[in-house]
Amino acid sequence: MHPILKLVFQRLALGILLLFGASALIFGLTEALPGDAAQAVLGQSATPESLANLREEMGLDRPALTRYVEWLGGILQGDLGTSLTNKLDIADSVGKRLGNTLFLAFWAALVSVPLAIFLGLLAVRYRNRWPDKLISAVTLTTISIPEFLIGYVLIYFIAVKIGWFSPLAMVNDSMSLGQKLNAIALPVLVLTMVVLAHMMRMTRAAILNVMQSAYVETAELKGLSNFMVIYRHALPNAVAPIVNVVMLNLAYLVVGVVVVEVVFVYPGMGQYLVDHVTKRDVPVVLACGVVFAAIYIGLNMIADIVAILANPRLRHPK
């Protein structure tokens, strides 16, 4: 078997094993939560009969391993279960909320990824000079501030004081694309500021590492401009680490948006998860945890595969 295919299959198998491990960990953590889940759902005024019925519905009278196997079997068949609080199908609710989260993540990535690569190239082009130092200082400052604080500051100045955008990022199917983009402008700005520094710094570091190679020195001796050396020779050979950091930050844009969605009351997966955690709706928490884990592991697996394909020694083995 070709070395690339072998490595790709190994990454796929590892990703599947990690996903199973993550599902077991998520289920175990929900089982370890203190208190009575049925009591938390029904409240302190619930009668013993209603508590017994809900415990039977939740399967709390059966062993945890049996419930995990049944739950995992349902997941593999696309059945995420039913919410305990509103009796709605979780798969339908997750589908709508996940679509909103992916919509927000897509536009945040569309802004942040090209901007981070451009700023990384610019920092390398003017390394150790004032543009490089200014870019590093500004991006490191933004990543050092908690996203909820950035969100509240932007809401106060841009939404309340200036009135450019709405402080609440509410979207629905009846809105046009322009209205949706106007609604998510502030969350996209916050997410861009949060992930920009990491991607920019890694792009800069990866390209500077390649710039020390002999073939880059040869290109410089041929009289190519500094920009052409970076763009044509250094950047293509720095793709693997850049793709890795981009995928990690894309995973954050989908999985780590809980705080931003709560701040802007955005109807995405993060807001959905927080709402049902407070209600102790275990099936919803389990479903959201598995979806987030699958996205995170999947994007990291794609990053590994791209890094393998970008390695010329594996593409052209001797």
Count of residues in the chain: 318
Largest Cα separation within the chain, whole Å, is: 85
Please give the share of the chain, as a percent, with pLDDT higher than 70. Answer: 89
What is the token pair recorded at 315? 């593409």
Whose CA is closest to 167, among 145, 189, 146? 189
- For the chain, give percent helix, strand, coil, nearest 5: 75, 0, 25
Burial class (CB in 10 A: 0-12, 13-18, 19+), 263: buried
3-state SS record for 45-87: CCCHHHHHHHHHHHCCCCCHHHHHHHHHHHHHCCCCCECCCCC
pTM for the predicted model, two decimal places: 0.83
Query: Residue 225 in 3-state DSSP?
Result: coil
- Taking residues 256-282, report their average pLDDT: 86
pLDDT tens digits, one per residue of 207-239: 888 777 777 777 767 777 777 777 676 777 777
pLDDT tens digits, one per residue of 74-88: 888 888 888 877 778
Residue 311 has pLDDT above 70, yes or no: no
Domains defined for the chain, CATH in brackets: 93-300 (1.10.3720.10)
Residue 318 has pLDDT above 70, yes or no: no
Q: What is the pLDDT of residue 55?
A: 73
